[in-house]
């Protein structure tokens, strides 16, 4: 059975690039703590937005979708799920809430991971929730011609319980070493979890929930305010390519963790940058919704689309964004380029 030596693998990761990533995240964590302490009440708006975006994005990666209106009502627990997709979305919502509210009290043990998986499927008729896979599975992709190609062969079913026990023990042991930064141990653990692929269904969603749980337990709670799942969903093709690169040779212990670690650190940095930017606009400047749209365009280098504006301000309605864009165009403060789905806007610096 595959063993996990995170101390040895850790040393292979300490390139100047990775050390630079770690330094950036450590600095941003300090900013995070100051901002949360100073503006805790005002940040409740970001909490709700991130919950909705995280639930939508993580399920969308797996092809589990519903309408925007239904999704919001499910996340806010204002409706009853009506089909299988909505039941699975409701399960994700509850596990996400559990992690947000209780992360300090959720140990990384196989039994606890099984409980989280059970709750992920608690609204479904599936009997797989809360149990490890009973038959072997594969990680496959569907090609354009409709055929399926096996990308990775996970650990066999009979070996899964022992593999998960070994994995969790190795992770806990690594965390006791003060010389090892959790920011590098966490993505290695998540990659190994995905390579074990311990469940017959829900492995991808569980990996993202566990990523948040481990980051929160290490003090990096940015995912509560900015959806890391959405950042992953928006780079889904790259995400799968990176998984392929880092899982090659995994069974023999010859795989390279670096591509996946680099990718996940990049996602954390992107989340922190977005968090700091949102707080700056939402709190520090105390702007109205229309003023926030104007400020986003003004501070964007190059072009920006309506969709990108709405991604940065998910609490602002499309109608408000469109009205503000028209007002800015009428004043000559912005320039409209392209047309239809290819329309984008730039700040008119000649008016400054």
Q: Token pair for residue 46?
A: 């970001």
Q: How many alpha carbons fall within 13 Å on the CB side of residue 238? A: 12
For the chain, domain boundaries: 6-282, 288-351
CATH of domain 6-282: 1.10.3290.10
Q: How far apart are CA 211 and CA 208, in angstroms?
A: 5
**59: three-class secondary structure by DSSP:** helix
Q: Token pair for residue 221?
A: 């709670």
| Cα–Cα separations (whole angstroms), residue 342 to 294, 303, 337 | 20, 11, 8
| Cα–Cα separations (whole angstroms), residue 215 to 83, 111, 282, 286 | 32, 20, 24, 30
For each of the chain's 352 residues, which pLDDT tens digit applies? Answer: 899 999 999 999 999 999 999 999 999 999 999 888 888 877 888 898 899 999 999 999 999 999 989 999 999 999 999 999 999 999 999 999 999 999 999 999 999 999 999 999 999 988 889 999 999 998 887 777 777 878 899 999 999 999 999 999 999 999 999 999 999 999 999 999 999 999 999 999 999 999 999 999 999 999 999 999 999 999 999 999 999 999 999 999 999 999 999 999 999 999 999 998 888 777 656 678 898 899 889 888 889 999 888 887 777 888 999 999 999 999 999 999 998 888 999 999 887 6
Q: Are 89 and 64 in contact (CB under 8 A)?
A: yes
Q: Give the pLDDT confidence score for residue 283 in this predicted structure.
A: 66
Q: Which fold has domain 288-351?
A: Arc Repressor Mutant, subunit A (1.10.10)
Q: How far apart are CA 270 and CA 282, in angstroms?
A: 18
Each residue of 45-94: pLDDT tens digit? 889 889 999 999 999 999 999 998 999 999 999 999 999 999 999 999 99
Q: Give the pLDDT confidence score for residue 44 in this predicted structure.
A: 84
| Burial bucket for residue 184 (CB in 10 Å: 0-12, 13-18, 19+) | buried
């Amino acid at each position: 059975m595959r063993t996990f030596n995170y101390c040895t693998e850790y040393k292979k990761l300490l390139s100047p690039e990775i050390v630079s990533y770690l330094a950036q995240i450590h600095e941003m964590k300090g900013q995070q703590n100051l901002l949360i302490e100073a503006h805790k009440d005002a940040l409740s708006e970001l909490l709700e937005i991130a919950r909705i975006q995280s639930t939508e994005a993580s399920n969308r990666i797996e092809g589990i979708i519903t309408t925007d209106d239904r999704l919001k009502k499910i996340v806010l627990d204002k409706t009853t799920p009506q089909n299988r997709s909505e039941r699975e979305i409701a399960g994700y919502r509850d596990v996400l809430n559990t992690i947000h509210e209780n992360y300090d009290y959720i140990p990384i043990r196989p039994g606890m991971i099984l409980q989280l998986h059970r709750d992920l499927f608690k609204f479904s008729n599936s009997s797989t929730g809360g149990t490890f896979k009973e038959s072997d599975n594969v990680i496959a992709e569907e090609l354009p011609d409709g055929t399926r190609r096996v990308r990775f062969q996970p650990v066999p079913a009979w070996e899964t319980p022992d593999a998960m026990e070994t994995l969790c023990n190795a992770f806990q042991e690594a965390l006791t070493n003060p010389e090892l930064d959790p920011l590098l141990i966490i993505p290695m653990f998540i990659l190994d979890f995905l390579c074990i692929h311990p469940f017959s269904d829900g492995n991808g969603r569980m990996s993202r929930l566990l990523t948040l749980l481990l980051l929160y337990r290490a003090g990096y709670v940015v995912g509560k305010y900015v959806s890391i799942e959405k950042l992953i969903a928006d780079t889904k093709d790259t995400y799968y390519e990176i998984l392929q690169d880092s899982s090659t040779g995994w069974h023999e212990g010859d795989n390279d963790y670096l591509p996946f670690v680099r990718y996940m650190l990049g996602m954390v940095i992107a989340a922190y940058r977005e968090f700091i930017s949102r707080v700056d606009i939402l709190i520090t400047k105390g702007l109205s919704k229309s003023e926030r749209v104007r400020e986003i365009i003004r501070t964007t280098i190059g072009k920006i689309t309506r969709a990108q504006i709405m991604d940065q301000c998910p609490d602002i309605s499309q109608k408000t964004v469109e009205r503000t864009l028209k007002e800015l165009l009428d004043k000559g403060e912005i320039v409209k380029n392209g047309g239809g789905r290819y329309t984008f806007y730039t700040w008119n610096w000649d008016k400054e």
